[in-house]
A and B are shown apart, each in its own frame.
Chain A
Amino acid sequence: MLALLAAIILYFIAQKFKVYEDPRIDEIQAILPGANCGGCGFAGCRAFAEALVRAESFDGLNCPPGGADVMAEAARLLGKEAPEVDPLVAVLKCNGRPEYRPLTSFYDGVPDCRIAHSLYLGETDCSYGCLGKGDCVRACPFDAMYMNSETGLPEIIDDKCVACGNCVKACPRNLIELRKKARKDRKIYVACSNCDRGGPARRACRVACIACMKCVKVCKFDAITVENYLAYIDSFKCTLCRKCVAECPTGSILEFNFPPRKPAAEVTSQTIKVNPEV
C-alpha cells in the first residue's frame, strides 16, 4: 500500500520536474563516432551533439574523427549546411634520433614528459626537442601513435590519426602540429622546433633547423617563413614541390610518401629522406 502511494507520488514529481530534451540530440549523438575524444573542443560527443542542435550554422563546428561524412549526415538531419573542412593529420616537429642528437645525460625520473620538461633541458642539449617519454602516445584515444624504440620518438600512424588534437595538448613542448592532409598522405614539414641560433642548435642536434633562409628563398609559393630562428612551412600554402627538401643543408625538412625522385636530381631514392652527408 505504502509502495503504491510512493510510486504515485514519484510519478507526479517526475512529471513536474521533467526536463525537455530535444530528441534530435539523441539522433545526432547516434551518428557521432562516440570516442569522446574532445577533438571538437567540447566535453564529449553528447556535448557536441547539443552544440550542433543549438547552433545557427555549422561554421567552426567539426568532428575530426567523423570527418566530412558524419558532418554531412548531421547537416542533413538538422537541415543545415556543413562547411567543407580540410582533413588534418598530426606530425611530430622533431627528428632528434639518438644518432643525430647525442645524449648528454640520463633521466632516471618519472617517465612523464611533463615532469622531465619541468625538471631540466632533457637528456640531450636541445631544450626544444622531443623528450621521448610518451605523453602523446598515452593521450591518443585512437591507438594512432606508438613509441619507436629505435629512434626514441613517437610515430604517428596516418591511417588511424583523426587529428583530434589530444597529443597536441599533451606535449609539454608543443612539438605536435595538425597539418593539412595531402593526397596519398604526402607530407613535407620542418621536423624541428629548436628556436636557438644556428650554432647552438646545430651543436645539440645534427638535423636542427639553423634558420639559414635557403628554403624561404627557394619556395615560390610564400609557404615558408622563418621566425625565432626556425623555419615553418604553411601546409595550406605548400604545393609539395619538394624544392625546399633538397635545399635544406641540415636535412631538417622531411618528406614522406613521395615516389622516388628522378635520377637527374641526383638525390637518393629513399622515400624518407635521411640526413644527407654534412
Chain B
Amino acid sequence: MKTFPLGGVHPPENKLTAGIPIRYLPIPPSVAIPVTQHIGSPSEILVKKGDMVKTGQIIAASKGFVSANIHSSVTGVVNKTDSVIDASGFRQTAVFIDTTEDEWLETIDRSSEIITEIKYSPEEIIDKCLESGIVGLGGATFPSHVKLSIPRGKRCDVLIINGVECEPYLTSDHRLMLERSEEILVGITILMKALRVTQAMIGIENNKKDAIARLTGLSGKFPGISIHGLKVKYPQGAEKQLIKALIKREVPSGRLPLDVNTVVHNVGTAFAVYEAVQKNKPLFERVVTITGKSLASPGNYFVRTGTSVRYLIEAAGGVPENTGKIISGGPMMGKAVSNADVPVVKGTSGIVLIPEEESSRSEMTPCIRCAKCVSVCPLNLEPYLLMTLSEKGEFERAVAEGITDCMECGSCSYCCPAHRPLLDYIRLGKSLAAKMARKQMVK
C-alpha cells in the first residue's frame, strides 16, 4: 500500500458523516462575504451600498497576479461594507448583502446535464478559472490560475489530484467524489488540458473504498486518469507528502511541486473548475462538513460563501450544550473560531463541534526527551528543539534548524505525552522568523 515514508500519525477517524448525502443549505437572510478568501492580495470591492446584485455576479475584482475574484453568493441588496471577524480570528473587510429571491446570472448553466466535451484551449481554461475566482479548495486557498500557469523553463509531466482527506471528521471531499464523480473526472481532464499533461493520478485514502471503486469504474471513459488507494495516515493530504506517496519524488525544502515536475489540485477544486469552465458558474458555494459527536443532524451541505457558521449549525440542529469548541477546518489543522458569526469562505472545508471534555488542553509538563515528536514529524524536523528555540526567541537558529519547512500539521503536538504546546510555539517562531526575514530584505 502506497504512503509517505516518514512520520505521520493515525488519529481516530470519526468520519460520522461519510454515509450522509450532500444537502443544499437554505439561503440565509443575509451574508457577509469577505474580500480576502484566498492567499494573496485582497480583492478590490466593485459594489457599493444599495446596489442590487445577482447570484454569481462579481463583487470584488482580483488585484495583482496572486489574487482572486469574489462573486456574490446570493441575490440581494448590498447593505454595507464593514469589517467582520473571520475564521482566522482577525477582522477583515466584507460585503454584507441582504438576500431577496434567488436569481442567478443568465450566463450560468443551471441544468444538471454533464458536459464532457471540452471546447476550450488551455489559455481559455486558465482565463475562466481566473474569472470565476477558483482557488484551491483543500484549505490553503491558493488561486488556481496561478498554479495552472506554468512559468517559462518549468515543466509538468503529471497532475496529482488530492482526494486524501486525511483530517478526522471531514467528509466533504469524500461525498463529492461519490456524488459528483463524473464532474470531477471531467474537471481533472480540463486541468490536464490546461497543464498540457497526459497523465493524472488521484490519491485517495483507503478508508474511502466506495469512492475509489466509483471513480475507478468511471475512469475508463477518461484516458490518462488513474486512481490510487493510499494507506490511511495523517498528514497524507499535505502536498509534499502526497507527491512522495504517489510518485516517489521529494520536493526540496523551500521549493514548489513544480520543481519536481508536478502540480497538485484538490478534488473539490477539480469540481469547481468543471463548474466554472463547462457551466460558467463562478465559485460561490462549496461543500462544507458540519459535524460533531453530539450534534443532532451532522452532514454535508452545499453552502453559499458568506453564510454565517451560526446559520449552518442551526440547520444541523443547533449547538449542543456540551460544546467546548467550534473548529473551522479539521480538528488537526483547523482553528477554533472566536464566535459563531464568522462567515463560511471558499477555504472552509468543515465545521467541527468538539465536546467540552475532548477540547480542553491537558496541563503541560517538562519534556521527557522521548523523541516521539521527532519520529512522527513527516518533514524530519525536531519539534521539541524548534519549540524551545521559538520560546526563547532564537529565531536565527530556528531557521537554521528548518522551522520554515514546518507545514503545521500538528502531529507533534498530537502525540506529545507531556502535552507540550509544540506547534503553538513553532507557529509563533515561523511567523516571527518570516517577519525578521522581511525586515532584512528591506534593509
Contact = CB atoms under 8 A, between A and B. Distances in A.
Interface residues of A, number: 14
Given A104-B338, A105-B339, A109-B421, A118 B427 contact: yes
B112 interface: no
Query: Mostly helix, strand, loop or mixed at chain B's interface?
Result: mixed
B431 interface: yes
Given A108-B360, A120-B89, A115 B339 contact: no
A77 interface: no
Interface string B71-97: 000000000000101001111000000
28 contacts: A104-B338, A105-B338, A105-B339, A108-B325, A108-B336, A108-B359, A108-B360, A108-B361, A109-B421, A109-B424, A110-B364, A110-B424, A112-B424, A114-B428, A114-B432, A115-B424, A115-B425, A115-B427, A115-B428, A118-B431, A119-B335, A120-B85, A120-B88, A120-B90, A120-B338, A121-B338, A127-B90, A127-B91
Contacts of A119: 89, 335
Interface in B384-443: 421, 424-425, 427-428, 431-432
B339 A104 contact: yes
The 7 closest A-B pairs by CB, nearest first: A120-B89, A105-B338, A110-B421, A110-B424, A115-B424, A120-B338, A115-B428
B296 to A, nearest CB: 24
A144 B130 CA distance: 57
Interface in A67-117: 104-105, 108-110, 112, 114-115
B186 to A, nearest CB: 40
Interface residues of B, number: 22
A105 B338 CA distance: 6
Interface of A: 104-105, 108-110, 112, 114-115, 118-121, 127, 200
A118 B360 contact: no
A85 B336 CA distance: 48
A115 B339 CA distance: 19
B90 A121 contact: yes
Contacts of A105: 338-339
Contacts of B91: 121, 127
A120 to B, nearest CB: 3
Contacts of A104: 338-339
A200 B267 CA distance: 41
A121 B89 contact: yes
B139 to A, nearest CB: 17
Contacts of A108: 325, 336, 359-361
Nearest to A106: B338
A248 to B, nearest CB: 26
Contacts of A121: 85, 89-91, 338
B386 to A, nearest CB: 14
Contacts of B431: 118
A119 B335 CA distance: 9
A197 B248 CA distance: 54
Contacts of B325: 108
